[in-house]
Amino acid sequence: MNKIRKINALSVGMALLVGVALPAYAASDKLTVVVTDEPKSLDPCDTDLSGNSRVMHNNITEALVNLSPKDGSVVPSLATSWRQVDSLTWEFKLREGVTFHDGKVFDAQAVVAALKRGQDPSLACEVGLATLKGIKLTAEAVNPTTLRIKTDVVEPILPNKMSALDIGSPATPGDGKTRAPAGTGPYKLAAWTPGQSVTLTAYDGYWGDKPPIKHATIIWRAESAVRAAMVDTGEAQIAYEIAPQDGTTGQDHAFPNAETSLLRIDAQVPPLNDKRVREALNLAIDRDGLVGTVFHKDAQKAMQVVPPSVFGFNPDIPVWTYDPKKAKALLAAAKADGVPVDKEIVIYGRIGIYPNSSESLEAIQAMLADAGFNARLEMLETSPWLKRLLKPWEKERQPSILQTQIDNTEGDAVFTLPNRFTSDGNQSTIADAKLDKLIADASKSTGDERKKMFQEAFRYIAVDAVNIAPLFHMVTIARVAKNVNYTVDVQAGNEIKLRTVSYR
Amino acid sequence: MSFTYFLKRAAFAALALAALMTSAFFLVRLTGDPVDLYLPVDASSAAREAMRVRLGLDASLPVQFLDWAWDMIRLDFGMSLWHNRPAMDVVLEALPNTLALGAIALTLAFVAAIVIGSIAAVNAGGWIDRGVNVLSQAAASVPDFWLGLMGVLLFAVTFRILPTSGFGGPIYWVLPIACLFARPFGTLVQIVRGSMIEALNATFVRTARAKGARDGRVTFVHALRNALLPAVTVTGDLAAQFAGGGGVVEVVFGFPGIGKLLIDGILKRDFAIVQASIFAVAVVIFFINILVDMLYASIDPRVRVE
């Protein structure tokens, strides 16, 4: 009897412990999202970086326009319409009746201030350093709802670029970054507890539809297994970047993340300066063998460095077949002509650039060895990897191929090509006057002409220049709780669309 | 312990700290350029150079060192590049969490090891001893991260009695403490067992038994007090390791401690965070060492802290 009493007391004790101590999980207007890392900044001018953008963009702050996840086309947000006045001037009509979370009114002056701030070199804003790099934009408020932006060079896709500039309140400090952003979005920042969480609450004065979720918390955990477990236990409702080995349940949704994995070939150093060797390298890789094993089964074999959703994608470039026999023949032919094909080639990988990054290169190294290459694998941490990725490089260097992946969520080829494939590009291993001109001309043109020229540039890189071994258009996995309505799309890497989330 | 002794120790510690901080200054700068990591890969070389100038990284290393030394003398650790806040503020937010986590785990491990280790020593060679041996060896060698993930799967996902991770009330501390507990527990059990067997066979224990002292008193008063010294030494070393953070455990559980901060600081080349963390941890280790000396003196009257 005593024993039974003890067991009963223990059960009650455990129940109390669980009931009292465990956090109050999923309530109908509360949502917790778990990501991999804490945002680096919550300043509106830093949303060009995906970790910041996920928390900020279209949650706290908004841009003049958005890009459609379906086809990358420009759609209205804080601007309702836009037109090109002349080759160097664009005009935007702004939405009326919009207020910032701090009560300030959204108008053309606010955009002028945000643009000035984003391009201020002393602030080193992400948007100024990346999307708006190399172009001088001068904004002028014609009246509170009309904004004109002048450019110093022809900029046919200025509206696309404006999707990267989130507009913060005019009260945002001009002499430093803010940790307490005020935007126009459906959520305002409630708290940022460093090292722990960011909490958002719905903004009652939002101009659009009110979001079903009133309180959202964004937390970060480095371990994929822990992120996945948090959805199982109800501690979180959405978890991103679930590793393939953890993402095997019905709640795990794989979606294209606009990243393309590839090996960048240093085509300036022998034996890789010989096109036959670079072709052999591509033919030696068994892409079908990699997908569904070290790469996710939904990854698509790539033939160029942008996914099909990007303007300028060329659907007619043939995907490399796996042909080790032909690869060996090409190497033999190159050797016969005196090309030093036996020279050691280093494969530089980056630890954790994507799930199974080391394993994928180990497999590729073995495939290259089978075809007759003398390849050595070196896995690097991010900092030394960046030294290999970015110029300047030593003149006397070992022949190498570099594991990388390129994302293009902006929807236009111009965000990918110049830096990576022109003579002046800070990551370019190719210096080809013809390609330089093609990319420069395409960047200035519009419509079909632009599309055709970019398609030709992608064809030239893949077929004529062959300084890349494209691998896959990548997917990532998100785990979503069964009682939550949320559709992941190609932009999920940069944007948690909290306002689209609801409980079933 | 006299005040003069403390001052003498503090003076030596200050010298060691100066040497440590100087090596930290040069070592972190050998690991690479923070600008490449901080700026987007598409940033122009002009923007990179501007950033280097802003951070003072364009100056020669001796000039950077002198600037840094002047800041150190004024205890100015600078701004964290990634946190955009004074580095010491960020460190002082994380340090108490780590110290509390380490102190609880280590105290529990120490107490449990004394009890279990003594029981094993008293039953040396018997099945209890063999069981304890297997358990302690396993605890000392199991990897933290594996234990952490298994703990999450078992207690959070399967039984739903603990949260997977996070930071908050006492319940959030259970799994991180359990993971940090394992290794020192295993190590200390082995040490207590060994030194207890030695002490139980010593002549003073035989004398105590001959005088008619009861078994419990002989084991836990006469023998244990003598057997504790090596355990205290090792616990001091373990405490110093714990002051540097629970490393992997903090990462797995998203526990905002100094271990995770330091790992991130190193990976992101956030020099200010790395230097401020090393400084704070070194100061804590200095106090841990003083504490261990005092404990020694109180356990063994032959030891005088002078």
Summarised one tens digit per residue, pLDDT across range B266-300 is: 888 899 999 999 999 999 998 888 888 888 888 87
Are B111 and B187 in the same domain?
Answer: yes
Q: Looking at B48, B73, B98, which one is the last position of a domain?
A: B73
Same domain, residue pair B164 and B268 = yes
pLDDT band for position B38 (50/70/90)?
Answer: confident
pLDDT, average across residues B77-87: 89
Average pLDDT, chain B: 89
Give the ipTM: 0.83
Name the band, by pLDDT with cuts 50, 70 and 90, for residue B302: confident
Are A504 and A316 within 8 A, CB to CB?
no
Q: Is B36 on the interface with A (CB under 8 A)?
A: yes
B92 in a domain, yes or no? yes
Q: Does A12 touch chain B (CB under 8 A)?
A: no
Report A:47-66 residues touching B (Cβ under 8 A).
Answer: 48-49
Show residues of chain B in contact with A232, CB under 8 Å.
157
E-assigned strand segments in A278-326: 300-301
Q: What's the gap between Cα A337 and its chain centre?
A: 42
Q: How many residues does chain A have?
A: 504
Confidence (pLDDT) at B305: 54
CA-nearest residue to A43 within chain B is B84
Sign of CA dihedral A264, A270, A273, A275: negative
- Indicate whether B79 belongs to any domain: no
Task: Classify residue B179: in a domain, yes or no.
Answer: yes
Answer whether residue B135 is part of any domain: yes
Task: Give the per-residue pLDDT at B296.
Answer: 82
Nearest to A503 by CA among A186, A279, A211, A177: A211
Q: What is the pTM of this model?
A: 0.86
Of the residues A199, A390, A405, A406, the best mutation for testing chain B's interface (the one with the most B CB atoms within 10 Å of its CB) is A390
B219-267, pLDDT tens digit by residue? 888 888 888 888 988 998 888 888 876 778 898 998 999 998 998 898 8
A499 to chain B, closest Cα gap in Å: 25
The whole-angstrom separation of Cα A53 and Cα A65 is 15
Chain A residues in contact with B33 by the CB 8 A cut-off are 383, 387
- Residues 6 or more apart whose CB falls under 8 angstroms from that of A371 comprise A280, A283, A284, A324, A327, A328, A331
Q: Let me know: does A185 contact A203? Beta carbons within 8 Å.
A: yes
Q: Are A303 and A318 in contact (CB under 8 A)?
A: yes
Per-residue pLDDT of chain A (504 residues; tens, 9 = 90+): 444 444 444 444 444 444 444 444 455 789 999 999 899 899 999 998 889 999 999 999 999 999 988 878 899 999 999 999 998 999 999 999 999 999 999 999 999 999 999 999 889 899 998 889 888 999 999 999 999 999 998 888 999 999 999 999 999 999 989 999 999 999 999 999 988 899 999 999 999 999 999 999 999 998 899 999 999 999 999 999 998 888 889 999 999 988 999 999 999 999 999 999 999 999 999 999 999 899 999 999 999 999 988 999 999 999 999 999 999 999 999 999 999 999 999 999 999 899 889 999 999 999 999 999 999 999 998 889 999 999 989 989 999 999 999 998 888 999 999 999 999 999 999 999 999 999 999 998 988 999 999 999 999 999 999 999 999 999 999 999 999 999 998 888 889 999 999 998
Chain A interface includes B269 (CB < 8 A): yes
Which residue shows structure tokens 């913060």? A168
CA A65 to chain centre: 18
Residues B52, B182, single domain; the answer is no
Between B14 and A10, the higher pLDDT residue: B14
Q: Does B31 touch chain A (CB under 8 A)?
A: yes
CATH number at B129 reads: 1.10.3720.10
Chain B residues touching residue A427 (CB < 8 angstroms):
41
- pLDDT at position A17 is 45
A419 and A427 Cβ atoms separated by less than 8 Å = yes
* Relative orientation angle of helices A275-283 and A324-336, to the nearest 10 degrees: 160
The pLDDT value recorded for residue A53 is: 95
B149 touches chain A (CB under 8 A): yes
User: How many degrees, rounded to 5, is the angle at CA B203 between CA B202 and CA B205?
Assistant: 70
Contacts of B32 in chain A (CB under 8 A): 383-384, 387
Distance CA(A428)–CA(A25), nearest Å, equals 49
For residue A295, the 8-state DSSP code is B
Q: DSSP readout, B62-94?
A: HHHHHHHHHHHHTT---B-TTT-SBHHHHHHHH
Chain B CB contacts of A21 under 8 Å are 169-171
Residues B101 and B247 in one domain: yes
- B35 & B126 share domain: no
Count CB neighbours of A250 within 10 A.
Answer: 7
Does B143 reach chain A within 8 Å, measured CB to CB?
no
> What is the token pair recorded at A241?
């970047």
Task: Indicate whether B23 and B151 sit together in one domain.
Answer: no
A88 burial (CB, 10 Å; 0-12 / 13-18 / 19+) is: middle
Same domain? For B43 and B107 the reply is no
* Secondary structure (3-state) at A7: helix
How is residue B173 written in tokens? 């501390």
* Co-location of B55 and B99 in the same domain: no
My answer on whether B51 and B96 are in the same domain is: no
- Burial profile B251-260: b = 16 or more Cβ within 10 angstroms, e = fewer: bbbbbbbbbb
- Chain A from 210 to 229: CB within 8 A of any B CB: 219-223, 225-226, 229
Judged by CB atoms closer than 8 Å, whether chains meet at B164 and A386 is answered as: no
Separation between Cα atoms, residue B47 and residue A219, nearest integer Å = 32
Distances (CA, A) of A386 to A389, A417, B150: 5, 18, 35
Is the domain of B121 the same as that of B234?
A: yes
Q: Which residue has the higher pLDDT, A109 or B145?
A: A109
Query: Could you tell me if B62 and B97 lie in one domain?
Result: no
* Residue after which a domain boundary falls, among B23, B51, B73: B73
Residue B270 lies in a domain: yes
Residues 6+ apart with CB under 8 A from A241: A35, A36, A224, A227, A476, A477, A478
Q: Is B78 part of a structural domain of the chain?
A: no
Q: Please state the φ and ψ torsions of residue B9, each to the nearest 5 degrees.
A: -60, -40
Per CB-CB distance under 8 Å, the chain B contacts of A386 are 36-37, 41
Instruction: Report the b/e string of A314-331 with b at 16+ CB within 10 A.
Output: beebeebebbbeebbebb
- d(CA A407, CA B231) in angstroms, rounded, equals 54
How far, rounded to the nearest angstrom, does the alpha carbon of residue A369 sit from its chain's CA centroid? Answer: 32
Task: Tell which of B43, B73, B103 closes a domain.
Answer: B73
Mean pLDDT of B183-206: 93
- Number of folded domains that form chain B: 2
Cβ partners under 8 Å of residue B44, min gap 6? A129, A133, A134, A426
State which H helix or E strand residue A334 sits in. helix A324-336
- Is residue B157 a part of any domain in this protein? yes
Residue B80 domain flag:
no
Which residues form the domain of B34?
3-73
A177 interfacial to chain B (CB closer than 8 Å): yes
A129: chain B residues, CB-CB within 8 Å: 39-40, 42-44, 47
Instruction: Single out the residue of A248, A250, A115, A251 nearest to residue A239, CA to CA.
Output: A251
> Taking CB atoms and an 8 Å cutoff, what residues of chain B touch A192?
none
Residues B91 and B227 in one domain: yes
Cβ-based contacts under 8 A for chains A and B: 127
